[in-house]
Structure 1
Amino acid sequence: MRKDLNVRLSLGPYSNCDFKVCGKRIDVKTISNDSGPSPDYNVNVPSCQVSLEQDLFAFVFHDRSKGTYTIAGAIDRPTLLRNARFMRKGLTERNGEFSYKCDTYVMKVKELLPIEAFVLPKISE
């Protein structure tokens, strides 16, 4: 992600976010699978990782079969808290095959916005 946005890591290793770009504190969540992102895939943020120290959450898919990384999109903290489904610890999905290990905010990839919508300077006419 840093390479795609042409930014340097600007925060220390003990920060609650990964990057600071255009004044926005970004926490990157990585999902590993064998296919990359799809509009109907879920992305999630554990509730214990949502704090005032993040402005944005960016979601990156690691396609293990191809060895590639794809930025699926991003969401700002207020929108995540307002629009995401809040899934309680222990709730199951996929006919009981998946169980949430902690309280979690969940959205679909198709609900995310391009990260550039948040971090590129706005040009006024």
Structure 2
Amino acid sequence: MLATAANERVAHAIADHLGLFDEVIASGTEHNLEGSAKAAAVVARFGERGFSYAGDSAAGAAVWRQAGAAVLVGPAARRPPPLRPRLLSRLGSTMVAAKRCAMQCARSGDTSGRRTCSSSCR
């Protein structure tokens, strides 16, 4: 599933182009699917802790709180959003390891975007 705050037309065009998603939920003219609205929509579809969520910004924190696992995505040089220790403990070791790896990559100055430092985090 592609869950995005982007407009429905844009989200469907991207999903169709990539051919990776069997379902799309996105913002429409009457609603903005961001933050807690996105979390509610994904939980309604998969249940609490019934999904993994990959996000690239602090706006994903509401979804990460409900996810069974979380993944930080984005360029290696970009720092992950600040997360409270309580949220980290709720997300478990998957999130802690992902954040540690992302921070390590950011400190190394790797700006290639080729995930060169992520291989050292496995």
TM-score under structure 2 length normalisation:
0.29
Q: Which has the higher strand share?
A: 1
Larger RCO, structures 1/2 (Cα 8 Å, 6+ apart): 1
TM-score under structure 1 length normalisation:
0.28
Q: Which has the higher helix share?
A: 2
